[in-house]
Amino acid sequence: MADKLIIVESPAKANTIKKFLGGSTKVVASMGHIRDLPKSKMGIDIEHDFEPEYINIRGKGDLIKSLKSDAKKAKKVYLATDPDREGEAIAWHLAKILEENKEKITRVTFNEITKTAVQKSIKEPRNIDINTVDAQQARRVLDRIVGYKISPLLWKKVKTGLSAGRVQSVAVKLIVDRENEIESFIPQEYWNIYANLKDDKSKKEFEAKFFGKDGKKQEINSKEQVDEILKNINKAKYIASEIKKGEKKRNPAPPFTTSTMQQEASRKLGFTLKKTMAVAQSLYEGVKISDKGTIGLITYMRTDSTRISEEARLTAKTHIVSTYGEEFYENRYYKTNKDAQDAHEGIRPTYADIEPDDIKNDLSKEQYKLYKLIYNRFMASQMKPAIYDTMTVTIKANDYDFKANGQNLKFKGFMVLYVEGTDDKEEQEEGMLPELQENQEVKLLKINPKQSFTEPPARYTEASLVKALEEKGIGRPSTYSPTITTILERRYIEKEQKQLIPTELGKIVNKLLTENFADIINVEFTAKIENEFDEIAEGKEEWKKMIREFYGPFEKVLEKVEKELEHVQLVDEESDVQCEKCGRMMVYKFGKYGKFLACPGYPDCKNTKAIIETIDVPCPKCGSAVQVRKTKRKRNYYICENNPKSCDYISWNKPKLGEEWNPQEAEDVKKETETAKKSTKSERKSTNKSKRKTTKKN
């Protein structure tokens, strides 16, 4: 009989914890959730005050029996699921299943899986926090009601199998709105004038940019304005009229939150949100390290706080001073966002002395990259700022002003270790300007006017969408990744070279939802709901009261929309392609893999066609049309319309006029497309096999 039974979610976490505890302790995994709402129905009893109808998850019967047996034999049962709302809810469901042992059940959490943290938590158990559980229940129930009530409208009006999620729909709306901004954007002309100048003393050349006239900034919006300025400075002397020298500090970024970790891993490592969270989970739960056994390498990865413990500060100080010197260390505190829950520390390494390169051979490639990112970011957050010497020079040409800026890195500070990425164009490092004197003349080498046009806002990437969701108060650390993964899987959006683009299906679904459920599918409402979940978690609001207040108005809107849409039929857009079987004009439809052409005469005529996109450059090999296709991973490739019959042109790169094709390019594309065909065939075979088995059983 085990004195203690500890139940965690995953076997990896169980293995890490086992080594910190005595032989009389048994550690087992629940393998995630044990109970949930049913998949076959809504599972919310609206007539009886929105009571959820939880059921044991199918396939977990043997595990539940085993957990009950282990709990019966133990003197004390510790529910050690993750330290967030979802983990608290899993602990509550486990307690419900182990109800007969309730007098010996208690709750523990670990922000980091280290010997000290685990042993301390076991000594300080607590009760399950029912307010936190209720906040999770409120989210689950509200999302289930919205999804189950709105989705059938999409089935009737758009396509069967579609679904509407409360947060996911708002994320799609942001992406569609951004696409509409881009499509309606009208570029505005503007000009810059650059003067290439030379200091005769030092022989150094530098560039100055047109600023304005008589000390006032002036925008240049036309060629006529440029010509006027050039005429007025023709043969002018270029005089250094004002020189300002100074010093600029650049401070390090704070330790990672879930959101900033996802953004940086996307920018710097090219990781999807899903991959980042999976790798972070493995680092938190434990990795087998040579000579150390299985240890958790980072603190809990779902957090919106930048706070770090005093113990962690001390370990950071020791490491920085011994590695870089006293002059690089600075004890820093970071303000946590006012809306942050601040239940956990920021994401940091659990052991400051375990440097990424020391354990590179024990980690997978992805684990090493993410661990290094987290480690360096945390260490840099406790370091001195970088210091630059700066210089700004105003150059006079008659009445007009040009400005030149220069900077030189004097002290690297935290930048010896880490520099935060950005979604914007990378800032260019400016070199120092020559040592000019006031009223000194410099030589004009060349005057260079440059026409430009304003650009539309950039499409969202996974990183910038997470940033936008966080700034607008939509979702929480645990929801960003599943939200974006879900709308990609539903094909409401697609990813092209990191950019998120709404599909036609996404636009149609967004239009139907925003036109009919404008009060629910909007940023303000979704942010307000998140705040209400927070209030429930803090014990300030009762969860069923919140659902009641939501459901009354929602039910009225639902009834109104159902009546209004009863006689509305979405008409399929007609194409200019004629059905060769019956002569009707084919229409655009949406399937699992996107847009396709179908005959409107269905079921009499079942003709369908793929939509083939071509480009305006002919095949470099035979001169025929080049088609754009996508691999299974949604990557574009270019192929001759005659491939494979009479031409073997295929490439990842869009062909250019007059460019010769290198047949070697084709091998990699062929490899990926052939692998996709084989996997699709094997998927089809296994599906057919399981169908035959089911038929046989029946």
| Three-state DSSP string of 219-233 | CCCCHHHHHHHHHHH
Q: Average pLDDT of 518-528? A: 91
608-655 confidence digits (pLDDT tens): 988 888 888 999 888 899 998 877 766 788 999 888 888 888 888 888
Contact 170, 479 (CB under 8 A): no
Q: How far is CA 194 from CA 226, 430, 482, in A?
A: 11, 15, 48
Q: Which residue has the higher pLDDT, 426 or 177?
A: 177
Burial state string for 524-550 with b = 16 or more CB within 10 A and e = fewer than 16: ebbbebbebbbbbbeeebebeebbeeb
Q: Average pLDDT of 658-670? A: 75
3-state secondary structure (DSSP) of residue 110: coil
Q: How far is CA 539 from CA 338, 525, 532, in A?
A: 18, 21, 11
pLDDT at 153 over 50: yes
Over pLDDT 70: what percentage of the chain?
Answer: 92
Q: Average pLDDT of 661-682? A: 64
Q: What is the mean pLDDT of the chain?
A: 89
pLDDT at 403 over 80: yes
For the beta sheet containing 585-591, the strands, ordered from the edge strand earlier in sequence to the opposite edge, are 574-578, 585-591, 594-598, 608-610
Minimal CA–CA distance to 395: which of 231, 200, 196?
196
pLDDT for 339 equals 57
Residue 277 CA to residue 86 CA, distance in Å, equals 15
Residue 47 CA to residue 551 CA, distance in Å, equals 12
Q: How far is CA 197 from CA 235, 251, 390, 403, 643, in A?
A: 14, 33, 19, 11, 55
pLDDT at 92 over 90: yes
Residue 668 CA to residue 674 CA, distance in Å, equals 10
14-40 confidence digits (pLDDT tens): 999 998 887 789 999 999 999 999 998
Q: How confident is the model at residue 696 (pLDDT cuts 50, 70, 90)?
A: very low
Calculate ∠ Cα 253-256-258, nearest 5°: 140
Identity of the highest mean pLDDT range in 250-264, 414-428, 661-675: 250-264
Q: Does 334 participate in catalysis according to the annotation?
A: no
197-221 confidence digits (pLDDT tens): 999 999 999 999 999 999 999 999 9
pLDDT for 630 equals 79
Given the residues 284, 300, 368, 388, select the one marked as catalytic: 300
104-117 confidence digits (pLDDT tens): 999 999 999 999 99
pLDDT at 298 over 80: yes
pLDDT at 413 over 50: yes
Q: Which residue has the higher pLDDT, 255 or 594?
A: 255
pLDDT for 569 equals 64
pLDDT at 426 over 50: no
pLDDT for 338 equals 58
Task: Report the predicted TM-score, pTM, of the whole model to 2 decimal places.
Answer: 0.82
Torsion over CA of 234, 236, 240 and 242, rounded to 10 degrees? -80
443-456 confidence digits (pLDDT tens): 999 999 999 999 99
Over pLDDT 90: what percentage of the chain?
Answer: 70
